[in-house]
Amino acid sequence: MSAKRDVYITEVALRDGSHAIRHQFTVDHVVQVARALDEANVPYIEVSHGDGLAGSSLQYGFSLTDEMELIEAAGSVCRQAKVSVLLLPGIGTVNELKEAAKRGAKMVRVATHVTEADVSAQHIYMAKELGMETVGFLMMAHMAPVEKLVEQAKLMESYGADIIYVTDSAGAMLPHQVRGKIRALKENLDVEIGFHGHNNLSLAMANTLAAIEEGATRVDGSVRCFGAGAGNTQTEVLVAVLDRLGINTGIDMYNMMDLAEETVAPILGHPQEITRDAMILGYTGVYSSFLLHAKQAAEKFQIDSRDILLELGKRKLVGGQEDMIVDVAAEIAKAGTKAAR
């Protein structure tokens, strides 16, 4: 890799962005975007189903293209960037991890709910055996107090993770909360610390900057804000802001701007914005990838998707419980029918 950077950005549009287009990426999409990201000197490019390796399913949404083909396609055009994958234990297994490594993945982010780091052990061990850079990805970090977060992060560190991420999966965290969590990990761990944000409350950039100010050296971005919910921290804007702050990312801003407008915008099809549903995700702390599932259920039962999302928030549903969304929608519709009688 080229000269040392102050902050390393992982571009997640080819993984998190999969949610926004119902997992319809083609090989051509991935080749175009990955090649341009590599030419812009982006160090890490995450490629997989939105819910990680083996996520293509009835529950999470079927991929148009087998993710192993997409991983291999990205690797074939990257000259300096490392291809990364996401793995959620219980969805992906060590078998998918081994296959992804064969296809060219150099980094894996092993993602668990913030209180369930213990399920990541075998996957982190295997990743280290495969020679992969390994990240512990603590999702829905807003749902745990700082002490619990530190406890779980230490578990991932003990398994061999090189980096631990605070992951704001719902876009629910406020800057002071990000500061507290990043600071605690910096004080208690010996590995690098990262942050992944969503923009459901328009705070992805502010939260990312807060994380960096507290010592995070790994952060995520999605070009054109291409991600679940209202998207992630917008990569090309983040590069510009960090440059203004004198923080070196090593990424070419002009190349990123051109990629965003000329290549990614047509794939995304519509601007990422903070819709009423996306805002509810952040307000109630609901997993960002639930958005399209909730919209589909609302259409099926002819109810307001916000009512579904609010109820999901009350029940504190987390990633992996997508099958509950239809059940919740049916209950709301049934209650509304009774009330109307």
Taking only the tens of pLDDT, the chain with its 341 residues reads 457 899 999 999 999 999 999 999 999 999 999 999 999 999 999 999 999 999 999 888 899 999 999 999 999 999 999 999 999 999 999 999 999 999 999 999 999 999 999 999 999 999 999 999 999 999 999 999 999 999 999 999 999 999 999 999 999 999 999 999 999 999 999 999 999 999 999 999 999 999 999 999 999 999 999 999 999 999 999 999 999 999 999 999 999 999 999 999 999 988 899 999 999 999 999 988 888 889 999 999 999 999 999 999 899 888 778 888 999 999 999 987 655 54
User: Is 169 known to sit in a ligand binding site?
Assistant: yes
305 and 260 both lie in a single domain = no
172 and 306 both lie in a single domain = no
99 and 161 both lie in a single domain = yes
295 and 244 both lie in a single domain = no
Question: Is the residue at 142 inside a domain?
Answer: yes
Q: Do residues 165 and 243 make contact, with C-beta atoms less than 8 angstroms apart?
A: no
pLDDT of the residue at 1:
43
Q: Do residues 172 and 197 make contact, with C-beta atoms less than 8 angstroms apart?
A: no
Q: Distances in Å between the alpha carbon of 335 and those of 107, 114, 150, 312?
A: 47, 33, 41, 16
pLDDT of the residue at 319:
74
Question: Is the residue at 2 inside a domain?
Answer: no
Rounded to whole angstroms, how far apart are CA atoms 329 and 277? Answer: 15
Question: Is the residue at 281 inside a domain?
Answer: no
172: left (phi over 0), alpha (psi -120 to 50) or beta: alpha
308 and 191 both lie in a single domain = no
206 and 322 both lie in a single domain = no
Question: Is the residue at 1 inside a domain?
Answer: no
Q: Do residues 138 and 159 make contact, with C-beta atoms less than 8 angstroms apart?
A: no
pLDDT of the residue at 320:
76
Structural domain that includes position 329: 289-340
155 and 50 both lie in a single domain = yes
pTM of the model: 0.92
Which residues are part of the catalytic machinery? Answer: 19
262 and 305 both lie in a single domain = no
Q: Which H or E element spans position 167?
A: strand 163-167
207 and 250 both lie in a single domain = yes
From 219, 238, 268, give the residue that closes a domain: 268
User: Is 222 known to sit in a ligand binding site?
Assistant: no
242 and 300 both lie in a single domain = no
Q: Do residues 6 and 247 make contact, with C-beta atoms less than 8 angstroms apart?
A: yes
User: Is 198 known to sit in a ligand binding site?
Assistant: yes
Rounded to whole angstroms, how far apart are CA atoms 83 and 34? Answer: 9
Question: Is the residue at 195 inside a domain?
Answer: yes
Question: Is the residue at 279 inside a domain?
Answer: no
261 and 300 both lie in a single domain = no
Q: Distances in Å between the alpha carbon of 62 and those of 25, 73, 226?
A: 11, 19, 19
pLDDT of the residue at 86:
98
The count of domains in the chain is 2
Question: Is the residue at 113 inside a domain?
Answer: yes
181 and 150 both lie in a single domain = yes
Kindly state the DSSP code that residue 87 receives in the 8-state scheme. E
Q: Domain with 294 in it: what CATH number?
A: 1.10.8.60
Rounded to whole angstroms, how far apart are CA atoms 317 and 106? Answer: 32
From 234, 268, 302, give the residue that closes a domain: 268
Rounded to whole angstroms, how far apart are CA atoms 282 and 173? Answer: 8
Question: Is the residue at 212 inside a domain?
Answer: yes
Can you say whether the dihedral through the CA atoms of 8, 219, 269, 56 is positive or negative? positive
User: Is 196 known to sit in a ligand binding site?
Assistant: yes
